[in-house]
Amino acid sequence: MPVNILNLPGLTASDFKETDTEYHVKAAPSAYSKLCPHCGCSHTTIGHGKLPLFVRDLPTHGKRMMIHVDAPRLLCKPCRKTFTATMPEIDETRQMTERLVAWIGRQALDYTFAAIAEQVGIDEKTVRNIFTEYAAKLQSEFKRETPVILGMDEIHLGKARGVITNIGERTVVEMLEDRYKTTIIAFLRSLEHPERITHAAIDMWRPYREAIQEVLPNAAIVVDKYHVAKMGNESLERVRRKMKETLAPKINLGLKHDRKLLTKRQHDLTDQQYLIVSGWLRSIPLLGAAYDLKERYMQIWDIESKEEALAAYLNWESTIPPDLAKAFKPIPVAWRTWRKYILNYFDDKRVTNAFTESFNVKIRRAYQNGHGYSFEVLRAKILFSDSLQKRVQVQERVKVKRKQRFEDIQEGRVMFFKMMVAEPEPKYDIRIVARITNLGADLPTLLDEIDRWTIL
C-alpha cells in the first residue's frame, strides 16, 4: 500500500484497493472525542461496538476516493445513552472528509455542479447544498468599497434583477435578487460609507429613484444616458416593423436585414453602409423622416450644457411629424416624468453606466446556456471569485483618539483653566492609514471570464 496515501493526520490507513476509477482505503481514527452529546460528560464512556462508515474524500490521481472507517460507538455511563464518537477531519452527517466539503465549495465557483458531482461520485443536490453553505459563509465576510459614482441597472435572469456597479472603477459591486424598493433600500443601508456617494446613474425605474432619495438625499440622481438615448432607436424600429403591413415581402426582408445599419449613428457608417442606408431612406419617405428624427434626437447628447440640451430637446419634440407621433411617443412621456434627472447627465458626463451593457449581454448567455448556473450561483461566481476582484491599496485619513500625555495629567489643573478661556484642545489626531480594499468584480476581467462559463 502506498505510504500515507490519505495525508490526513487524523486517520491511519491500514488497507488499500484500486480499480480503474476508484480508490478504496480502509482506515481507523488515530484519535476521537469521547464527549457525550447528550449530557456533556466526556470521561466515563465504554465501548459499544462500531459503526462502519463510508466516507468520501478528495479525488486523487483522477480517481474517486472512498475511505472505509469504523466509527466507535460509545455508551455514556452516567446517562446510559449511546452515541457515535466524533472523529477529526470527518463530516459525519455528509459522510465526507471536511477537506472534501471545503474543496467542493471552492470548486463550485469555477466548475458546474454536474462536473463536480461526477468527479466526486455524489449527486448534484449535495454539491448545491455544500455550495449554498459556502456562499453563505463568503456572504458573511462580504465587504465592498462604497462607490463614489453608483450605477444601478437591471438584468433579466428569470426575473428582473438589480445590477449595482462602481462606475468610476468599472466594477460590479452587487447583484440584487429583485428590484423592489425595500431590497434597494436595504442594499444602500448596508454600504459602509453611503455618504461618499455623490452620483447615482439609474435607469427609469421609480423604486431606484425613491430608494436613493430616501437613503442618499444628497446624491445627484442621473438617468443613464444610454437608456434615454436608445429610445430613439426603439422608436425607429417601431416605425420599421409597422411598415411590414404596407411593403412587399421581399423589400421587407431586405429592410430587416439592414436594420442594424439604420440604428447606427450616421457618422459611424462606412461609405458603403451610408449608400445602403440613404438608398432605403430615399425610397421610403416615412422611414426617411423617422431616421432623421432619430438622428436629431441622438444629437442632443453631443450638446455641452444642460440649458442648451433642454432647448434642443423641446425643439426636437415640436418637430415630431403627426404620422410618427405614436411610434415616438415613449420619448416625450419619459422626458415629462424624468426630465430633471435626464438633464443631470449634462452636469457630469462621467455618470453613465453604458459599460454594463456588454456585461448584461454576456451574463444572460451564461444564464441560458450554463447548466446549473442559477442566479444565486452566477452572483456568487461574480462577487466571490477571488481572481475577479479588483483590489487596491488606499490611503485614508482616520481620526484616532489622542492619548493623554503625562504632562497633560500633571497640568490637569492648568488645562482646566485654559479650557475655560481658550478653545478646547481637539481630542483626536489625524493619521494616514493604508489598507487594501476590494472595489468589486473587475468588469474587463469578468467579460473574458464569462465567455469561459458559456462554453462549459
Residues making contact with Zn ion (CB under 5 A):
36, 38-39, 41, 76, 79
CB 32 to Zn ion: min, Å: 16
Q: Which CB atom, from 36 or from 150, has the smaller least distance to Zn ion?
A: 36
Of 256, 261, 257, 255, which is closest to residue 273 (Cα–Cα)?
A: 261
CB 90 to Zn ion: min, Å: 21
Of 69, 125, 130, which is closest to residue 98 (Cα–Cα)?
A: 130
CB 49 to Zn ion: min, Å: 17
Q: Which CB atom, from 36 or from 184, has the smaller least distance to Zn ion?
A: 36
CB 81 to Zn ion: min, Å: 5
CB 45 to Zn ion: min, Å: 8
Output the DSSP codes for 95-164.
TEEHHHHHHHHHHTTTS-HHHHHHHHT--HHHHHHHHHHHHHHHHHT---PPPSEEEEEEEEESEEEEEE
Q: Which CB atom, from 36 or from 228, has the smaller least distance to Zn ion?
A: 36
Contact between 181 and 211 under an 8 Å Cβ cutoff? The reply is: yes
CB 43 to Zn ion: min, Å: 11
Output the DSSP codes for 211-280.
HHHHH-TTSEEEE-HHHHHHHHHHHHHHHHHHGGGTS-HHHHHHHHHTHHHHHS-GGGS-HHHHHHHHHH
Q: Which CB atom, from 83 or from 131, has the smaller least distance to Zn ion?
A: 83
Q: Are strands 220-223 and 199-202 parallel, antiparallel or unpaired?
A: parallel
CB 73 to Zn ion: min, Å: 13
- Give, in order, the Cα–Cα distances in Å from 407 to each of 297, 415, 419, 424, 430: 71, 10, 16, 17, 21
Q: Cell numbers for 145, please give them.
A: 468599497
Q: Which CB atom, from 24 or from 73, has the smaller least distance to Zn ion?
A: 73
Q: Which CB atom, from 39 or from 186, has the smaller least distance to Zn ion?
A: 39
Helix axes 356-369, 443-455, angle to 10 degrees: 20
CB 85 to Zn ion: min, Å: 13
Helix axes 113-120, 124-140, angle to 10 degrees: 120
Q: Cell numbers for 287, please give them.
A: 422611414
Q: Which CB atom, from 35 or from 269, has the smaller least distance to Zn ion?
A: 35
Q: Which CB atom, from 85 or from 378, has the smaller least distance to Zn ion?
A: 85
CB 41 to Zn ion: min, Å: 5
CB 388 to Zn ion: min, Å: 49
Q: Which CB atom, from 40 or from 444, has the smaller least distance to Zn ion?
A: 40
Q: Which CB atom, from 49 or from 444, has the smaller least distance to Zn ion?
A: 49
Q: Which long-range contacts (CB under 8 A, 24 or more apart) does 376-381 make?
A: 376/132, 376/135, 377/108, 377/113, 377/131, 378/157, 378/175, 379/175, 380/109, 380/131, 380/135, 380/138, 381/109, 381/110, 381/453
**Environment class of residue 235 by beta-carbon count within 10 Å: exposed (0-12), middle (13-18) or buried (19+)?**
buried
Backbone angles phi, psi at 394, to 5 degrees: -120, 150
CB 28 to Zn ion: min, Å: 24
How many helices (H) and strands (E) would you count in the chain? Answer: 18, 14
CA distance 60 to 6: 9
Q: Which CB atom, from 41 or from 261, has the smaller least distance to Zn ion?
A: 41
DSSP state of 92: T
CB 93 to Zn ion: min, Å: 20
CA distance 190 to 309: 36
Q: Amino acid identity, residue 223?
A: V
Q: Which CB atom, from 79 or from 281, has the smaller least distance to Zn ion?
A: 79
